[in-house]
């Protein structure tokens, strides 16, 4: 393709969104997004796959290819932009899939190491649902460019009034440092979703335990910021699971102490780089990488936290990023379980504390005929449906032992 043909492609587009470097010293007359690209991508992507949603003329797709990306897909709702991006890919000699379509179609595209959704969320009718979809197709890093709530707060001298979004609190809100602004999702008079950084942070921390960390950076665009969510990568995941007061904490304590009976039973030595956490601790986002995780999980969380079903428990999103998943189900007779809960209940000093209410609730649940078995069956069914390897351990006495699923369910009936 010669210089005149490249110039023709440039002139065909009435308005350019992105500045793209082309052969013959030419470039498109759009906005320079190189600073954002440097924030998002490493120098060498080493064959990583990239999806850019709302790719416009394809700048970030081209930048990914320049950094040795593997499969690169650009998606845009505007067919003219999609066609222009395809032409530019031919000019630059890049093998990139440019597709015309909606963000609603992303689940059909497969998994990607890097997923970009830049300057899109505030235009959508369901940004939370889309964020959920984005996380589910991301293997390594999800990048959002988000419209801050400051977009709806007028600068001095502008005609648009701040009361359209935050009422008369708008000017006061602007005085707060960014990191101290509360988590707010607001809708302005034009129907755009405006989101503070702490709202994004709280969403990821409380809903997605498969995210290792969330970082923020200023955007080149006014009233926008970048949110970069890094996805966990876990080599091996072990659940120590069972109902409240079945003995999970004691079992884990024996494991930590190096008790040979427990270690041999589950074939695990914590000195081999394993980290032990409860589901609640996992949700609090511990710093640092976790490659091997032992998770102490109370199967009564669906009752106590009113999730309703296990698929709604944020702690269980961790399963998506684990290569190897094994669940150890601790069992003991229902009568023994009620006795253990009563012993714990009698040890509390405050008769009105939340721990007392929890113990009383569990005594009620365990006392219902068939309730404990139904709870176990629900957990086992969930684990099987999600590809976990299941093993059962009888913890009725100090001498723990492995049992079959049939024996385990008979024990809790």
- Taking the alpha carbons of 311, 313, 319, 320 in that order, is the dihedral positive or negative? positive
336 shares its domain with 400: yes
Q: Of 238, 249, 411, which Cα lies nearest the Cα of 332?
A: 411
CA distance 405 to 382: 14
Using the 3D structure, point to which of 201, 231, 261 is the last residue of a domain: 231
pLDDT at 43 over 50: yes
Q: Say whether both 215 and 273 belong to one domain.
A: no
pLDDT tens digits, one per residue of 118-137: 999 999 999 999 999 999 99
- My answer on whether 279 and 370 are in the same domain is yes
Q: How confident is the model at residue 271 (pLDDT cuts 50, 70, 90)?
A: confident
The pLDDT confidence band at residue 306, using thresholds 50, 70 and 90, is confident
Q: Are residues 254 and 328 in the same domain?
A: yes
Whether 53 and 113 share a structural domain: yes
Q: What is the spatial distance between Cα 348 and Cα 369, in angstroms, rounded to a whole number?
A: 27
Q: Decide: 217 and 226 in contact? Cβ < 8 Å.
A: yes
Is 168's pLDDT higher than 80?
no
Angstrom CA distances, 192 to 120, 173, 215, 289, 303, stand at 10, 19, 23, 36, 36
**pLDDT tens profile 10-28:** 998 889 999 999 999 999 9
Strands (E), 20-62: 50-53
Give me the domain span that covers residue 316.
234-411
What is the distance between the alpha carbons of residues 363 and 43, in angstroms, rounded to a whole number?
58
- Does an H or E element contain 382, and which? helix 371-385
pTM score: 0.88
* Number of domains observed in the structure of the chain: 2
> Where residue 88 falls among pLDDT bands split at 50, 70, 90?
very high
DSSP, collapsed to helix, strand or coil, labels residue 37 as helix
Question: Does one domain contain both 138 and 261?
Answer: no
One domain, residues 45 and 29: yes
User: Quick one: pLDDT band at residue 173, thresholds 50, 70, 90?
Assistant: confident
As a whole number of angstroms, the distance between CA 259 and CA 253 comes to: 9
Long-range contacts of 383-388 (CB under 8 A, 24+ apart): 383/327, 386/319, 386/325, 387/325, 388/239, 388/319, 388/325, 388/326, 388/327
What's the first-to-final CA gap in the chain, in angstroms?
Answer: 76
Same domain, 283 and 207: no
Residues 144 and 186 in one domain: yes
- Rounded to an integer, the average pLDDT of 169-190 is 81
Pick from 32-36, 40-44, 99-103, 277-281: least confident: 277-281
Check which CATH number belongs to the domain holding 368 and give it. Answer: 3.40.50
Out of 231, 258, 290, pick the residue that ends a domain: 231
Q: Which helix (H) or strand (E) holds 213?
A: strand 211-218
- Say which CATH number the domain at 140 has: 3.40.50.150
Q: Give yes or no for residue 288 having a pLDDT over 70.
A: no
Q: Give start and end residues of each alpha helix (H) in 15-169.
A: 34-40, 59-66, 79-92, 127-136, 163-166
Q: What is the mean pLDDT of the chain?
A: 90
Strand locations in 72-126 (E): 72-76, 97-100, 112-118
Residues 386 and 259 in one domain: yes
245 and 214, same structural domain? Answer: no
243 and 226 inside one domain: no
Choose the final residue of a domain: 231, 263, 289. 231
Q: Which residue has the tokens 């890919």?
A: 89
What was the pLDDT predicted at 403? 96
């Amino acid at each position: 393709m010669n210089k005149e043909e490249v110039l023709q492609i440039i002139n065909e587009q009435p308005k350019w969104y992105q500045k793209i470097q082309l052969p013959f010293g030419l470039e498109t007359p759009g906005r320079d997004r190189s600073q954002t690209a440097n924030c998002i991508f490493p120098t060498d992507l080493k064959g990583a796959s990239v999806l850019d949603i709302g790719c416009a003329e394809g700048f970030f797709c081209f930048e990914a290819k320049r950094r040795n990306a593997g499969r690169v897909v650009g998606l845009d709702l505007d067919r003219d932009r999609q066609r222009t991006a395809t032409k530019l890919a031919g000019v630059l000699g890049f093998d990139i899939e440019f597709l015309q379509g909606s963000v609603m179609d992303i689940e059909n595209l497969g998994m990607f190491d890097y997923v970009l959704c830049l300057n899109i969320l505030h235009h959508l009718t369901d940004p939370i649902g889309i964020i959920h979809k984005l996380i589910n197709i991301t293997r390594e890093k999800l990048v959002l460019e988000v419209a801050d709530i400051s977009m709806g707060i007028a600068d001095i001298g502008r005609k648009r009034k701040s009361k359209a979004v935050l009422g008369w609190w708008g000017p006061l809100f602007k005085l707060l440092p960014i990191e101290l602004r509360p988590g707010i999702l607001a809708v302005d008079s034009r129907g755009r979703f405006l989101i503070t950084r702490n709202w994004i942070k709280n969403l990821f921390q409380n809903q997605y335990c498969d995210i290792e960390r969330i970082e923020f950076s200023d955007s080149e665009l006014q009233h926008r910021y970048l949110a970069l969510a890094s996805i966990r990568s876990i080599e091996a995941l072990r659940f120590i699971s069972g109902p409240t007061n079945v003995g999970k904490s004691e079992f884990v304590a024996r494991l930590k102490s190096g008790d040979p009976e427990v270690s041999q039973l589950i074939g695990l030595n914590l000195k081999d780089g394993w980290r032990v956490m409860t589901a609640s601790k996992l949700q609090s986002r511990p710093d640092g990488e976790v490659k091997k995780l032992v998770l102490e999980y109370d199967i009564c969380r669906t009752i106590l936290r009113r999730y309703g079903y296990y698929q709604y428990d944020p702690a269980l999103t961790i399963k998506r990023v684990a290569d190897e998943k094994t669940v150890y189900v601790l069992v003991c007779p229902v009568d023994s379980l009620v006795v253990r809960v009563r012993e714990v209940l009698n040890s509390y000093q405050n008769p009105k504390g939340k721990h007392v209410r929890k113990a009383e609730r569990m005594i009620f649940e365990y006392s219902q005929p068939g309730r404990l078995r139904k709870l176990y069956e629900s957990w086992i069914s969930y684990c099987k449906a999600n590809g976990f390897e299941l093993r059962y351990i009888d913890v009725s006495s100090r001498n723990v032992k492995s049992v079959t699923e049939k024996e385990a369910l008979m024990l809790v009936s």
